[in-house]
Amino acid sequence: MKLSYKLSIILLFSALVFSCSSDDNATDLTGNGTVHIEFDNSVAGDDLLLSTSSYTNSQNETLTINRLTYIVGNFRLTDENGTVFTYPKDEGYFIVNEETGNTEVALTNVPAGRYTSLTFGIGVDQEKYLQGAEGQGNLLTEAENTNMVWSWQAGYKFLNFEGTFTSPTITDATDFVIHMGSHGSSLDNYKETTLDLGSEALVSSDMNPIIHLVVDAGNILDGENKIALSEQAVIMISEEKSPQIATNASGMFTVDHVHNGSGESH
């Protein structure tokens, strides 16, 4: 009897002590870490499977996507205090390519901190382009290898979106080609987007978070601007439609979640 009394008192006490002692995070964020950004391409809530799955958009056009490639760059991370870390421009452009599976960007040497928002550009800005072909580093070679450049004069393709479609008026599967870019320095279609992480990405010498973005390819034609392929199926240099596509493309990114941790496996 006495024993059980003591036991229950001990249990009760330990419950109180332990439940009050947790919350201090022994996470002093120091040093530098790597921020991984996963661009998880999707369409209509499904994982994007090239040449396989088809979907029907709000304009009643049914698309099968065969290619989705885009250039992202000028990454900036803002921490909880509003301090902005800008990733070095020279190493700051990446080609996200669904065909090759290159869909993760790694930003190295990011200073320790609690980051709450992410800003990046879709395409290549004029500043970079005006550095000339010599100033492009690996980007130009990589873009040439992945069908992301027309010619040096015409410039980079910021977005390469291809496939086939049908519509109520076009019943045979017809190719569509959407190549959007800035066309030299005459038409600037470089756009930026800022995403609230909805959580915190914790960076330190042993914390390398993964920011998992969902990219909705459906937004390219069926976003803020509605672009009907039955009207024009090949859009490359269009003073009217290219800027609309650029706006739509900049709105195709959302943060699904942030995975904090060592980032060694994933």
Q: What are phi and psi of 177, to 5 degrees?
A: -135, 115
Contact 149/156 with Cβ under 8 angstroms?
A: yes
Residues with Cβ within 8 Å of 90's Cβ and at least 6 positions away in sequence, in order, are 137
Q: Which is nearer to other proteins, 25 or 151 (CB)?
A: 25
Among 200, 228, 233, 238, binds other proteins (CB under 8 A): 200
Nearer to other proteins, 52 or 153 (CB): 52
**Minimum CB distance to other proteins, residue 257 (Å):** 4
Spatial distance between the Cα atoms of 120 and 92, rounded to a whole number of angstroms: 10
State in angstroms the smallest separation of the CB of 200 from other proteins.
Answer: 6
Coil/strand/helix, residue 8: helix
Between CA 38 and CA 104 the distance in angstroms is 5
Q: By CB under 8 A, tell whether 25 contacts other proteins.
A: yes
Residue 124: partners with Cβ closer than 8 Å, 6 or more residues away? 71, 73, 93, 139, 155, 156, 158, 182, 190
Nearer to other proteins, 89 or 212 (CB): 212
Least distance (Å) between residue 263 CB and other proteins: 9
Residues 48-87 that bind other proteins (CB under 8 A): 49, 53
Q: Is 224 exposed, middle or buried (0-12, 13-18, 19+ CB in 10 A)?
A: exposed
Q: Which of 102, 225, 247, 260 binds other proteins (CB under 8 A)?
A: 260
Could you say which of 27, 60, 145, 169 contacts other proteins (CB under 8 A)? 27
Segment interacting with other proteins, rule: CB under 8 A, options 47-55, 87-95, 170-178, 222-230: 47-55
Among 11, 106, 170, 234, binds other proteins (CB under 8 A): 11
Among 22, 81, 153, 171, binds other proteins (CB under 8 A): 22
Tell whether residue 40 is a contact of other proteins (CB under 8 A): yes
Count of Cβ atoms closer than 10 Å to residue 59 Cβ = 15
Among 31, 47, 141, 170, binds other proteins (CB under 8 A): 47
DSSP 243: H
Residues 6+ apart with CB under 8 A from 113: 29, 77, 79, 80, 83, 85, 203
Tell me the window of 132-140, 149-157, 161-169, 253-261 that interacts with other proteins (CB under 8 A). 253-261
Judged by CB under 8 A, which of 63, 71, 180, 202 binds other proteins?
A: 202
For 204, half-sphere exposure in the C-beta direction (CA atoms, 13 angstrom radius) is 13
Residues that bind other proteins (CB under 8 A): 1-5, 7-8, 11-12, 14-15, 18-19, 22-23, 25-27, 40, 42, 45-47, 49, 53, 199-200, 202, 212, 214, 256-262, 265-266
